[in-house]
Structure 1
Amino acid sequence: MKVTPTIRAELEQYLQQEDLNLSQFGQITGMNRGIISSIVTGNKSMSINQLDRITEAMGLPEGHFYDLFIENYIIDHPPNMRRIEPFLFRCAELDKLDAIRRVVGAIMDNLLYSPKLFEIAETLLAQGRNAAALLLYEGVAEAEKYQHSERLAICQYRIFTIQIGDDQSQNLSAATIFEVFVERLDEIDQLDALKDLANVYRSLRKWDKVDEMASKMRGKAEIQYSFIHNEKRKDGTKEKKTRGPLFGYIAYADLLCASVCEAQGDHQRALEYTHAYANLDWVKETDDATQHWISLFKSWAEGNAYVYKLLSGDVSVLNDYVQYIIASSDKVNNEMVTKLLNVMFAANRYQLDVRHILKRFENEIDSFVQQPSSDMYTYQVVPEQTTRFKYELAKYYLNRGNYSYGFRYLLDVLSKSLANNKESFFIRCIRLFEQFKQFADVRTFIKYESLVSVGQRERLFYY
């Protein structure tokens, strides 16, 4: 039978080895002799703070005894949340994820501990310790998977938002799993969840799902907006707030539907949706924040109206659209890449010379980066648009014989498509390279062959 070592035995051995008595060691740790004695004799369990002091006094790295702590004081013991809670926070601080996983596995057979673990997860998420919070949310979700509770739905929402990243295949899986839980959230959280799902599906170009999420979001937002402005409602209850203004979810649904129509080539219908979110005279609020959002929607509508005309073949609006970009460049910087992408779409579709436009926005193009954000649009749609913009740049430069720039952008997109598991984009890059490969120098061709080889191993591409 295997005997589990104990922290107490390790401590006793250390005291003998260093020839220290309890009083001397107590002075080193800053704890009195009685506490040290109780720990050594086994008459008293220890807190995580005491364990950290003992570990430091023994000259060992932080968290050295955490696995033993789990063995000695958590596994096969009645769960004591007064001991477990600070231990979980300390493990999160030290990024001891395996330790967190073991604790969750040891105590989650009992649903009584779900509320407390959920509360700890929420605190960790607020602290930005997403990896640690994810383990707790997953533990609670697994324990409550047959409960059909709102807490289960919130856990799934948190898991979804934490898991969304650069891997498009993983993003699709996360969205698909979470989508079935949306209806279990309360009415307000459903709006934010649907908006987040729509933006993820938009980055994946799953236009049928974007349309579905937008339709659901509009319907629910209209009900809530009518509800809060019902004159008969005088119960005085405090409203739960959405992340953005409530009317904005209705307007944003129209914006999403316009993007769906544009992707499907129906520019006339896209314009109809655009006119809908440009006209917000029905909004009842009049405060400054509301006016700010109305102004934003009108600005987006103005720009998108130019886009839909431009992409439908009316190239006469190009200069007006560029002036619009210049005028609005200081308002929403994360929209710049999308605006310039529209220019490149038109340039490649209608063989337009846009060198002067690229020169005008040279600094902005050089500064395009993919920055994480709590907002699903900025986190998913903007990076996806950045990749598309670079692909369109590659296509533009290659078609105009500027091969050094063209291949530079193309290999960058090919590399990112490989890293982010964007199979369709990876294949598009290969087709474009093959079209112009006779103009590639040796170094470019070697890098291309290397990326394609990796893509074959990752099963993103087959010859």
Structure 2
Amino acid sequence: MKETTTIRAELEQYIRREGITISKFGENTGINAGTISAIINGNRPIAMLLLDRIGAGMGLEEGSLYELYIDEFIRNTAPNWRRVRPFLHRCAELDKLDCIKQVVEFMMDYLIYAPALFETAEELFGKGKHEAAAIIYKNVSDSEKYQHSERLALCQYRLFTIAIGDDQDENLWAATHFESFVDRLGEADQLEALKDLANTYASLRRWDKVEWLAEKMGQKAKVQYEQKYGNTRRSERGKEPKGPLFMYIVYSYVMRAGVWDERGDYQKALEYVSLYSDLSWVKEDTEEARRLKALCSNWAEANGYLYQLMSGSLDVIPLYVDYLEKNEGEILVGLHKILVAANRYDFNVDHVLQRFEKQIEALADQHTKVGTYTEQMSADLYARFLAEMACYDLNKDRYTKGMKFLLESLSYSVMLNGNPVTIRCVGLFEKYRHTASSEDKEEYKNLLGEVEYIHDKKDRFYSARI
């Protein structure tokens, strides 16, 4: 198909080449013969539905005529949003991302269409068409980069959400880039954005950041809670946050407890647990609120056991294990912490591991999202769990089993790119190198080669961002 051709010309040539009448082509495609004739004669524009029918009638692959459509009916005519919007949606369905890019860049020459393009991006984002939506968000964001609009901040929030994945270097860049836009969001979106940022930094183990963001989220949520339910309540409120307001207050306590856990101050962590174990102050009384209050009570019980265990109170293990059996979503984090305590205080937990043997085998397929943890937090946790299993077995002179877990942990941490578990695994392997088989040493050598490649890639990544 020549670049200088048109859809009209292609259609007319097809009808002549196939030796069929316009009426016959109309029968084949379900398009009125008069409409086809008007299109060929240039007297009628082609709507999106007709475009797909014409392409199918000509035996072409879906979307084959889209490049021509852009030139003929979008670039070379006055902007027509009623034509552009369905075209963008159809391109997203077919993953015709280059077509979306061309159309959006053209439409952004007319800034009056920025709000409509943003709404289309929101629609695509809601449908899970993230790559297509990202193209629009990026263009709208670029057009408003010198402004302080809420729409600019929302574009950056969506781009941050879309960017988060397995690559921790990319996640760090996305988080730091988005952070400055949070305060430009509306009150309701700020809470969810702060929670998402805190979760991202938690997976990156940037605990000072997590603490600061969690505290900020809690403060903002308390102000909004007072405005909605307290003596200073406002008669009119705008957009409501994604979840019940009290949950953002509770989640700030949960995250700050987790920060003090990582710092090794378990008494401080337990103080924060006490703040969300009693929710008698909560005003909401919907079915969803009652469900979430029960969930918070569940968290308080689990984390109470967990922080007591980490402080050396081994007598809580039976209670914690009973709890884990009733709450499968907490098994990974629970077993990880039990192993950390066992390795730190040198006690035997073989009976616990045997009790959860089937669940441990299943974790390899389930760790991508565990319980209420984000995918990134669950992935990081699984790599750490494997490392603790390796350490536990190696300390017990179960070298074959320990090396298996060690190499699995190293392999998985390499996949996460930038995960600090890699250093822990390297240290363990070198300590127990004398127990490794030749096959283990070869696999270890190959994994270190991947680590070196990733570090070279990381250097190029940051150089490109400068």
The question of a shared fold, defined as TM-score above 0.5 by the shorter chain, is answered with: yes
Aligned to 1:381: 377
* Structure 2 partner of 1:441: 437
- Aligned equivalents of 1:399, 1:460: Cα separation in 2: 34
Q: Distance in 1 between matches of 2:4 and 2:341?
A: 70
Instruction: Write the deviation string for residues 151-192 of structure 1: whole angstroms up to 9, x where unpaired.
Output: 111111111112111111111111111111111111111111
What is residue 197 of structure 1 aligned with on the other side?
Answer: 197
Partner in structure 1 of residue 464 of structure 2: none
Matches within 5 A, 1:402-421: 402-421=398-417
CA distance in 1, matches of 2:123, 2:398: 53
For 1:340, give the aligned amino acid.
L
Residues 423 and 460 in structure 1, CA contact (< 8 A), matched pair in contact too: no
Counterpart-to-counterpart distance in 2, 1:164 and 1:291: 31
Q: Is the alpha carbon distance of 1:376 and 1:182 closer, same or farther for their aligned partners in structure 2, counting shifts above 3 Å? A: farther
Structure 2 partner of 1:123: 123
- Which position in structure 1 is the counterpart of 2:362? 367
Could you report, residue by residue, the CA deviation over 1:28-69 in whole angstroms, capped at 9, with x for unpaired residues? 222122222222222222122212111111111111111121
Tell me the TM-score normalised to structure 2 length: 0.91
- Residue 113 of structure 1 deviates from its aligned partner by 0.9
Instruction: Note the C-alpha offset of 1:19.
Output: 1.9
* Correspondence 1:265 to 2:264: yes
Are positions 1:399 and 2:398 aligned together? no
Conservation of the 8 A alpha-carbon contact between 2:188 and 2:242: no
Q: Which amino acid aligns with 2:417?
A: N
Unaligned runs of 5+ in 1: none
Does the 8 Å contact 1:426/1:460 carry over to 2?
no
Amino acid in the other structure paired with 1:255: V
Q: Which residue type is aligned with residue 293 of structure 2?
A: I
Note the 1:25-424 alignment, pairs <5 A.
25-231=25-231, 233=233, 235=235, 237=236, 240-326=239-325, 328-329=326-327, 333-368=328-363, 369-371=366-368, 377-424=373-420
The separation in 1 between residues aligned to 2:195 and 2:318, in whole angstroms, is: 33
Cα distance change of structure 1 residues 234 and 316 upon mapping to structure 2, 3 Å threshold:
closer
Give CA deviations for 1:86-137 in whole Å, capped at 9, x if unaligned.
1111111111111111111121122211111111111112222222122222
* Structure 2 CA distance for aligned equivalents of residues 366 and 79 of structure 1: 58
**Alpha-carbon distance between aligned partners in 1 of 2:165 and 2:66, rounded to the nearest angstrom:** 30
RMSD: 2.3
Conservation of the 8 A alpha-carbon contact between 2:153 and 2:185: yes
Contact 2:254 2:272 in 1 (8 A): yes
SS at match of 2:239: coil
Which amino acid letter does the alignment assign opposite residue 281 of structure 2? W
Which whole-Å CA distance do the structure 2 matches of 1:289 and 1:14 have between them?
A: 59
3-state DSSP class of the match of 2:420? helix
1:196–1:376 contact (8 Å) kept in structure 2? no
Q: 226-235 or 397-406: which moved more?
A: 226-235
Structure 2: how far apart are the matches of 1:3 and 1:359? 67
Task: Write the distance in 2 (CA, Å) between the matches of 1:28 and 1:288.
Answer: 54
Deviations 1:183-238 (A, max 9, x none): 11111111111111111111111001001101101110111111111356473x46
Closer, same or farther: CA 286–86 of 1 in aligned 2, 3 Å: closer
Range that drifts further, 450-459 or 238-247: 238-247
CA offset at residue 441 of structure 1? Answer: 2.2
Give the secondary-structure state (helix, strand or coil) at the position aligned to 2:260.
Answer: helix
Look up the SS of the partner of 1:272 in the other structure.
Answer: helix
- Asked whether the 8 Å contact 1:156–1:181 carries over to 2, the reply is yes
Distance in 2 between residues matched to 1:417 and 1:232, nearest whole Å? 49
Paired AA for residue 79 in structure 1? P
Identical pairs, percent: 46
Letter in 2 for 1:161: T
Which stretch shows the higher mean deviation, 2-11 or 381-390? Answer: 2-11
Deviation larger for 120-129 or 55-64: 120-129
Q: Measure, in 1, the Cα distance between the counterparts of 2:391 and 2:4.
A: 64
Moved more, 23-32 or 159-168: 23-32
* Deviation, structure 1 residue 407: 2.3
8 Å CA contact 2:228, 2:234 repeated in 1: no
Cα deviation code 1:232-279 (max 9, x no counterpart): 6473x4663323221121121111111111111112211211212222
Question: 2:226, 2:232 within 8 Å by CA — same for their partners in 1?
Answer: no
Deviations 1:298-350 (A, max 9, x none): 33222222222222222232223223323x41xxx432211111111101111
- Normalised to the residue count of structure 1, the TM-score between the two structures is 0.92
Asked if structure 2 preserves the Cα contact closer than 8 Å seen for 1:207 and 1:260, the reply is yes
**Inter-partner Cα distance in structure 2 for 1:89 and 1:77:** 20
Is 145-154 or 280-289 further displaced after alignment? 280-289
- Aligned residue identity for 1:267: Y
Q: How many residues are paired up?
A: 455
Q: Does the 8 Å contact 2:85/2:120 carry over to 1?
A: yes
Q: Quickly say closer, same or farther: Cα 1:372–1:62, change in 2 above 3 A.
A: farther
